[in-house]
Amino acid sequence: MPALATLLLVASLAAGGRGQDIQRPEPGSGEETVMLLQRSGTPTATSFARLLNPFPELRNFTACYRIRMHRYREEGTLLSYALSDKEDNALRMDHRPSGYQVTLRGSWATSTVTSPLRYWSHFCFTFNDSDKSWTIFKDGEKKAENKIPNFSGVIAGSGSYVIGQDQDKFGGGFERDQSYSGEITQLNYWHRALDAATIRNIAECRSKEEGDALAWSEQHWNVSGEVEWLVLNSTDFCSQSQHNIIFFPDQFPLNEARAMCKVVGGEIGIPINDAENARVFTETVEWAGHCSNYLGSNYFKGEKVLLTLSACSSGKYSCDDGSCIDLRQKCDLRVDCRDNSDEAGCSLLSIPTGYSTTIPPPPLVRSDPLPVNISVYISSFPVIKTEELSFEAHFNLLLTWQDSRLDFLNLKKERSLNLLPSDDVTKIWTPLIFFFNANGNLFSNLEKGSRIELIAGGSARPGGPDKATEVNIFSGSEGAVAMSQLYNAVYSCDFDLLMFPFDAQDCSMIFTLTSAAANYMLLRPDNITYIGRKDLIEYTISEFIEAELIVENEFSQMKLGVRFTRRSGFYILTLYIPTVLLAVIAYFSLFFNPMGFESRISVALTSLLVLASLFTQTSNSLPKTSYFKLVDIWLFFSIVIIFMIVLFQTLGEYFSYDSLIPAKDDDKVHVLKIFSLV
């Protein structure tokens, strides 16, 4: 076994680069040796420490250590144990911004347990092979637990064990962004899963028990790069009475400040004793003017800050005269306080500092575009002009969206009570809709008649004591903003008149969201309703074609189709029946007195002229087309029929005139009766 360990050690040194043997200092009484990696904070793949002791075989085990992180990295690998190039993750412990993670032979134990920056913390990881369960402890408290059901076998010993880098191959394959920057001490391994009480005693420095598998005081390390040994007093990391306070000389809203503190592994500072309170005041008083726009900064100036001080119980509103009413009665358009104070200061919005009306709201899911729901309530189609290839529509356009940047105040169940005043309308972002195929340059607007209402979503939360009065607050990420307006628009439509007047026209109303490109926000059909009469003067609305979502010129569009079926009864009565009657009249002229040519030809010609007039009138009422319409074919056929009758009458008269022969004996004239064949 010693020969094998030596061979593995030589191989690892060759793979990762030869380090240096820096003498590990001996700690005195009440002191502890600490390994510091990357003091400068510069990420590098050359700073690490390699264990010279043979690493033990692990089945049931506990690993504990103390760390003080200096920098967050993408993966932040603290400890890495590899058995070969293929088994480079036999054991690995990462302190990532998203949480503490451990891998056992490629199986991950993940958690959201955070590792604070520049603040000593104690971590323990236990694994029980009998039920494949693992537990994570931080500062002696159990923070996470679960099982790895597919884990089998043990973690073999005598591999390559490294602090500060992730081994992508046996003993090497380091990457700078996976390195560790910070301090580590008291790294111990036990051949059993320690109980919670023992771990708490070790974390709180009430016990100095070292690992029976691998003890910190007996470890020997070969270090490389920016690695050094320190000797610290044990009270430096055992006493948690002091916070490590970091000051940012920048101006942040509250939510951004919380996010910034979380990134660096902490939270917004609250002094825990008089010394910390004095330090916070001394080191921040010069920034009081810089923070004067934010709640709480006035404490530095000695100015007054409004707070809610009331004798009313929770869920009640304090009238100015001291009486109490239900908080839901505030701003409901009914006076409930004797001094009318419940209907004063009825703002429905809480707009954060830095809010911009030109920047769209962020989507609730970061990778998805913001949905803007569109509803169209059509009341009528007052005019449909076939000759102009257009139709007119009266409709109410309703747009709803979510703006997570806003908070809504004192909303009611009746949406009409949540109408936003015109002064507040101009303070928030609203979407812009272009009526794509409407005549003229028509956009959605906030002119007279428009309404913007707030819709409550989720549960209300009471306002904090920093509010001047009691309020119920609804989150904008759970509620919605609704904008509605009535419009009267003329739309163009490509009429297909081939089957006129037995035709049906498929027309559309196209709405384009022009506030941002489709990869930032999308229209989403919500409710399409027609509330008018289906039987119009000239058409019948047979059906509404399903709304279609398309992307045109990078913008999101909704295409709403409607089918107009022409009511052909009028044309049958005023066109087709008269043309049939005219043809019949012309035909009946063939049965008139054969000697009365003038009367016969007059009837036929009159029928032809009337039919030609009908043809001209019908053609003028329709748009000019390059193709023949059904009515054109019908009228042309009718004209041809009557023309043939006129032609037949004329030919008959011509041949009958030649048959007139003068008689020698008397004045009688024999007439050829050519009409006897009719």
Let me know: does 49 contact 174? Beta carbons within 8 Å. no
pLDDT in tens, 608-643: 888 888 888 888 877 788 888 888 888 888 888 888
pLDDT in tens, 581-617: 888 988 888 888 777 788 888 888 888 888 888 888 8
pLDDT in tens, 503-562: 999 999 999 999 999 989 999 999 898 988 888 888 999 877 778 888 888 899 999 999
Let me know: does 394 contact 378? Beta carbons within 8 Å. yes
8-state DSSP, 274: H
Q: Which strand ranges, in their side-by-side order, compose the sheet holding 433-435?
A: 433-435, 504-513, 555-566, 539-552
pLDDT in tens, 41-68: 889 999 999 999 999 999 999 999 999 9
Which position has the higher pLDDT, 520 or 249?
520
Structure tokens that stand for 453 in this block: 């209402």
- CATH 2.70.170.10: which residues of the chain? 370-566
Give the pairing of strands 316-318 and 77-82. unpaired
Which position has the higher pLDDT, 214 or 468?
214
Structure tokens that stand for 9 in this block: 């050690």
Amino acid code (one letter) for 531: I
Q: Is residue 12's pLDDT more than 90?
A: no
Q: Is residue 100's pLDDT more than 70?
A: yes
Let me know: does 19 contact 13? Beta carbons within 8 Å. yes
Dihedral over Cα of 321, 323, 328, 329: its sign: negative
Q: Which residues pair with 548 in a beta bridge?
A: 559
Q: Which residues pair with 34 in a beta bridge?
A: 230
pLDDT the model gives residue 661: 47
pLDDT the model gives residue 300: 45
Q: Which residues pair with 562 in a beta bridge?
A: 507, 544
Let me know: does 678 contact 623? Beta carbons within 8 Å. no
pLDDT the model gives residue 298: 42
What's the rounded mean pLDDT across residues 233-239? 79
Structure tokens that stand for 238 in this block: 């055992």
- CATH 4.10.400.10: which residues of the chain? 306-346
pLDDT in tens, 471-481: 888 888 889 99
pLDDT band of 294, cuts 50, 70, 90: very low
pLDDT the model gives residue 312: 80
In this structure, the number of other CB atoms found within 10 A of the CB of residue 662 comes to 8
Please list, residue by residue across 511-529, b when 16 or more beta carbons sit within 10 angstroms of its beta carbon and e when fewer do: bbbbbbebeebbbbbeebe
pLDDT the model gives residue 347: 83
Rounded Cα gap, residues 222 and 48, in angstroms:
9
pLDDT the model gives residue 7: 33
Which position has the higher pLDDT, 107 or 271?
107
With pLDDT > 70 as the criterion, what percentage of the chain qualifies?
A: 85
Let me know: does 579 contact 634? Beta carbons within 8 Å. yes
Lowest mean pLDDT among 5-19, 355-369, 375-389, 433-447: 5-19
- CATH 1.20.58.390: which residues of the chain? 570-658
What's the rounded mean pLDDT across residues 189-217? 94
Give the pairing of strands 141-147 and 133-138. antiparallel
pLDDT in tens, 111-132: 999 888 878 999 999 999 888 9
Which position has the higher pLDDT, 205 or 275?
205
8-state DSSP, 139: T
pLDDT the model gives residue 558: 93
What's the rounded mean pLDDT across residues 15-22? 54
What's the CATH code, domain 370-566?
A: 2.70.170.10
DSSP strands (E only) in 173-293: 182-190, 221-224, 227-233
pLDDT the model gives residue 275: 73
Q: Give yes or no for a cis peptide into 501 (omega within 30° of 0).
A: yes
Q: Please give the C-alpha separations between residue 179 and each of 9, 17, 115, 227, 229, in angstroms, as whole numbers.
A: 21, 16, 15, 12, 18
What's the CATH code, domain 306-346?
A: 4.10.400.10
pLDDT the model gives residue 445: 87
Rounded Cα gap, residues 290 and 181, in angstroms:
33
Q: Which residues pair with 545 in a beta bridge?
A: 561
pLDDT in tens, 142-173: 999 999 887 777 899 999 999 999 999 999 99
pLDDT the model gives residue 657: 61
In this structure, the number of other CB atoms found within 10 A of the CB of residue 231 comes to 13
Let me know: does 314 contact 438? Beta carbons within 8 Å. no
Give the pairing of strands 91-96 and 182-190. unpaired
Query: Pick from 462, 506, 497, 455: which is nearest to 476 by CA?
Result: 455
Let me know: does 502 contact 631? Beta carbons within 8 Å. no
In this structure, the number of other CB atoms found within 10 A of the CB of residue 419 comes to 14
pLDDT the model gives residue 270: 66
Tokens 């023992």 sit on residue: 198
* First vs last C-alpha separation in the chain: 129
What's the rounded mean pLDDT across residues 348-354? 88
93: burial class by Cβ within 10 Å (0-12, 13-18, 19+)? buried
What's the rounded mean pLDDT across residues 15-37? 78
* Average pLDDT taken over every residue of the chain: 83
Per-position DSSP letters for 54-119, written without gaps between them:
PPPPBSSEEEEEEEEE----SS-EEEEEESSSS-TTSEEEEEETTEEEEEETTEEEE------BTS
Structure tokens that stand for 223 in this block: 């270090």
pLDDT in tens, 399-427: 999 999 999 988 888 888 888 888 889 89
Structure tokens that stand for 351 in this block: 């707009």
Structure tokens that stand for 279 in this block: 């330090």
Q: Is residue 229's pLDDT more than 90?
A: yes
3-class SS shares of the chain: helix, strand, coil, % to 5: 25, 30, 45
pLDDT the model gives residue 662: 52
CATH of 570-658, one of 2.40.128.20, 1.20.58.390, 2.40.50.140, 3.40.50.2000: 1.20.58.390
Q: For domain 2-238, give the fold.
A: Jelly Rolls (2.60.120)
Query: Pick from 228, 233, 178: which is nearest to 36 by CA?
Result: 228
pLDDT the model gives residue 466: 62
pLDDT the model gives residue 3: 36
